Amino acid sequence: MLPDRERHALREIELELQASDPAFAAAFAGRTLREKQRWTLLLALCDVTAALMLLVGLFARDAGLVLWGTVGAGALVAWHIARAETTREPAPDGTTPAAGSH
């Protein structure tokens, strides 16, 4: 975590950059809302696919589908956790909330 003085200096540089060259600053502003929605949709489709693989594998007694559905579900759990960690917003005092707290 940066000290307040350095955070303040970086914020001033950011504001100066936005005022002098808005197009350049916008290129580094982060992901757009449309891109976030695209990743959310992709994650939801992967969830549905893994669940269907498990269900079809169980009913068809196909060990391959059950195996890959389970592996996919485990990977998706890790993806959900990683995404939650990266999208967690800082608290009003500038600190990052503890893991597991919402």
pLDDT per position as a tens digit, 16-73: 888 888 777 777 766 566 777 888 888 888 899 899 999 999 999 999 999 999 998 8
Cβ atoms of 53 and 74 within 8 Å: the answer is: no
The kind and range of the H/E element at 78 are: helix 63-87
- For 77-101, the pLDDT digits (tens) are 888 888 888 776 666 666 655 555 5
The per-residue DSSP string of 13-33 comes to: HHHHHHHH-HHHHHHTS---H
Higher pLDDT, residue 11 or 90: 11
